[in-house]
Chains A and B, each alone.
Chain A
Amino acid sequence: MERRDPAEVATMLDLARYDGRRRFKGSVYLSIGLTLLAALIVWIFPSFRDAMDMDELLAAYPEPVLQVMGIRTMATLEGFLAVELYVFGWIILLGLYLAYSTAGVIADDVDRGRMDVLLSLPISRARVVGEKFAAMAVPIVLVNILTPIVVYVGAPLIDESISGADLLAVHLFSIPYLFACAAIGLLASVVFDRASIAQRVALGVTFALFLVESLLEGTDYEAVGAIAPMRYFDPNEILIESTYAVGDAAVLIGMVIILLLASQFWFRRRDIS
């Protein structure tokens, strides 16, 4: 292979492709797991629907629980899915997973001495951070491919129907949300030397943001929740009301850019030790 000139190298996403390929297999498994969860939730919905009055059940829940889970209604498949699959599976589980997983991308390489070899290559630190973050697109996109298909196909099987557009939208709008959670992990990853610490911090911060956003809603401190990515992605709104908050998605994208730039800035200035 011939040596490339620097300009050509700069346009390549070699590291992102390498990292992305290495994440592919795990992401497929993750995607299958979440799809099974989705299938299970669709499958159990009829027995819930038929066995009890769901709104009565909801009334039995204490208000804080409804608030934390963002529950509006569970009497329809949309409401049931929004809570059981998208709030629980996407906002909480996947959000935490991506923060945790991304927290390892820089810190683990530094921790294990791999960053020395990587940075001996003619590749800038900002690019290392940027490309490793870009590789997180692999799990983020993959988890959003199989699940909506299974839900869309599964709904008629239980004599329900669900709007394909809403379903598509909830997955599409979850992508900037998941990138924002990953970006929280990225910042932790460049700040802390040890992967285990970076990952714990990322998990803690992400979960705290989730609690802050959901518990402070409706109180005098509601404004504090504005820093939480969870405020800008609402599956209930999309699935039940068919309202697509494009502005919120833009806020999430802004968050991602700010966190990414901050991570790059920090990583350029620090010693690798």
Chain B
Amino acid sequence: MAAIELAGLTKDYGEVVANDDVTFSVERGEIFGYLGPNGAGKTTTIRALLGLISPTDGTARVLGHDITDESDLLEGKRDIGYLPDSPSFDEGATGRDVLELHARIKGDERSEDLLELFDPPLDREVREYSHGNVRKLGLVLTFMHDPELVILDEPTSGLDPLMQQRFAEFLRAERERGVTVFFSSHVLGEVRRLCDRVAIIREGQLVTVEPVESLLDRSGKVVRLRTAEPVPFERFDPSSLAGVHDLETSLDREDGAADDSEAAFTECTFTFTGDVNALVERVDGIGLLDLSVEEAPLEDIFMRFYGAEDEVGAERSPDSVGRDESEDEVGDEQTHGTARSSGGGDDA
């Protein structure tokens, strides 16, 4: 029996089909990433799996329990941990109050260990919590009853890079213990570091389900560099360096007034899908002022590898990647941005 089985899951809101005939399975004991740009329908799937919203068509089973049957799903919830994209607790309660409530209802088998790893200030009221502390409390609550399956919606947004690292290690250790992890993300780097398999959803439709390795080969990085001296155009031309796409250059004219910007540049941006070593070789010795290598925005990857069926995804600027699905919290937007750039930094 698979941990999660979706069979034609559809949620039609009238003006938008948030999930359109989504079918895939998550096997027991794997870390499964659910990847898609914001607004793609990831949260809709997750909320349906937890019985928070009912599908307009199709169904799904979690740990063998039918999500459309409340009492059947209740049996399953004893072995499920869930962390929403922006977890929220009673403002006037202390972390400990919330923890004790959860302990009484679903049991507590390992909160002490978890509190050593993620240490929210339990004796303070939740209203005083930072974004990161709320998330830490959420993580403790998600895992405290030792669930067989955890469902995490954008789990690392709001965590600082150190906590993200700790969280990644923790998830891998959980997998070793046999826990099935299903998490959504719009950050490719996060998914590729953690997952065994990935499902990609876009505009409510499942694009692909594949092992993470095959995705690795096909995604790209955005490279930005700036130099003191003009660099000949040929150095990063797609014909001389394999894997360069969408090369855009500019020349700082004050420094190299005599040069033609068609032949040389001091600043350039391109997407790179080739061999990193080849790139490093080309970058070596050109007098860099600045260099950044970041994950390519998901929209660009969709464009390149899965084609754009319409222009909605294509026209989105890279900036929109940081926007939260609910679009309600500015703080979330910022933290998503952090998650993204640190993911890129890791790979660079």
- Kindly list chain A residues whose C-beta atoms are within 8 Å of the C-beta of B81: 120
Inter-chain contact A6/B75, CB cutoff 8 Å: yes
Is B107 on the interface with A (CB-CB < 8 A)?
yes
Among the 9-residue stretches A84-92, A226-234, A265-273, the one with 4 or more Cβ atoms under 8 Å from chain B is: A265-273
Inter-chain contact B92/A112, CB cutoff 8 Å: no
Inter-chain contact A22/B107, CB cutoff 8 Å: no
- Kindly list chain A residues whose C-beta atoms are within 8 Å of the C-beta of B106: 3, 121-122
- Kindly list chain B residues whose C-beta atoms are within 8 Å of the C-beta of A6: 74-75, 78
- Kindly list chain A residues whose C-beta atoms are within 8 Å of the C-beta of B92: 22
Residue of B nearest to A112 (CB): B88
Within 8 A of A (CB), among B50-76: 50-54, 70-71, 74-75
Number of A-B contacts (CB under 8 A): 86
CA distance A123 to B107 in the complex (A): 12
Within 8 A of A (CB), among B116-158: 138, 141, 145
Is A12 on the interface with B (CB-CB < 8 A)?
yes
- Kindly list chain A residues whose C-beta atoms are within 8 Å of the C-beta of B145: 3
- Kindly list chain A residues whose C-beta atoms are within 8 Å of the C-beta of B101: 14-15, 18
- Kindly list chain A residues whose C-beta atoms are within 8 Å of the C-beta of B86: 113
Is B197 on the interface with A (CB-CB < 8 A)?
no
Residue from B89, B102, B107 within 8 A of A114 (CB atoms):
B89
- Kindly list chain A residues whose C-beta atoms are within 8 Å of the C-beta of B82: 116-117, 120
Is B77 on the interface with A (CB-CB < 8 A)?
yes
CB of A217 to closest CB in B, whole Å? 42
Inter-chain contact B87/A113, CB cutoff 8 Å: yes
CB of A135 to closest CB in B, whole Å? 12
Within 8 A of B (CB), among A142-187: none
Chain A 1-34, CB within 8 Å of chain B: the 1/0 string? 1111010010010110010001000000000000
- Kindly list chain A residues whose C-beta atoms are within 8 Å of the C-beta of B97: 18, 22
Is B237 on the interface with A (CB-CB < 8 A)?
no
Number of B interface residues in the complex (CB < 8 A): 36
CA distance A15 to B106 in the complex (A): 12
Is B224 on the interface with A (CB-CB < 8 A)?
no
Is A72 on the interface with B (CB-CB < 8 A)?
no
- Kindly list chain B residues whose C-beta atoms are within 8 Å of the C-beta of A119: 50-52
CA distance A122 to B76 in the complex (A): 8
CA distance A172 to B17 in the complex (A): 53
Is A124 on the interface with B (CB-CB < 8 A)?
yes
Residue from B84, B88, B105 within 8 A of A122 (CB atoms):
B105
Chain A 105-146, CB within 8 Å of chain B: the 1/0 string? 000000011111101111111000000000000000000000
CA distance A3 to B138 in the complex (A): 19
CB of A41 to closest CB in B, whole Å? 32
Residue of B nearest to A126 (CB): B70
Residue from B53, B104, B141 within 8 A of A272 (CB atoms):
B53
- Kindly list chain B residues whose C-beta atoms are within 8 Å of the C-beta of A124: 70-71, 74
- Kindly list chain A residues whose C-beta atoms are within 8 Å of the C-beta of B102: 121
Is B245 on the interface with A (CB-CB < 8 A)?
no
CA distance A114 to B138 in the complex (A): 11
Residue from B52, B75, B109 within 8 A of A116 (CB atoms):
B52
Most A-side CB within 10 Å, residue of B71, B82, B88, B145: B88
Is B108 on the interface with A (CB-CB < 8 A)?
yes
Inter-chain contact B107/A2, CB cutoff 8 Å: yes
Is B1 on the interface with A (CB-CB < 8 A)?
no
- Kindly list chain A residues whose C-beta atoms are within 8 Å of the C-beta of B54: 271
CA distance A115 to B52 in the complex (A): 9
Residue of B nearest to A119 (CB): B52
- Kindly list chain A residues whose C-beta atoms are within 8 Å of the C-beta of B87: 113, 116-117
CB of B182 to closest CB in A, whole Å? 13
Inter-chain contact A272/B52, CB cutoff 8 Å: yes
Inter-chain contact A273/B50, CB cutoff 8 Å: no
Residue from B47, B71, B107 within 8 A of A1 (CB atoms):
B107
CA distance A114 to B52 in the complex (A): 12
* 19 A-B contact pairs sorted by A residue (CB < 8 Å): A1-B108, A2-B107, A3-B109, A6-B74, A9-B105, A12-B105, A22-B90, A22-B92, A22-B97, A113-B88, A114-B88, A116-B82, A117-B89, A120-B81, A122-B75, A125-B70, A271-B54, A272-B53, A273-B52
Which A residues are closer than 8 A to B by beta carbons? 1-4, 6, 9, 12, 14-15, 18, 22, 112-117, 119-125, 268, 271-273
Which B residues are closer than 8 A to A by beta carbons? 47, 50-54, 70-71, 74-75, 77-78, 80-82, 84, 86-90, 92-93, 97, 101-109, 138, 141, 145
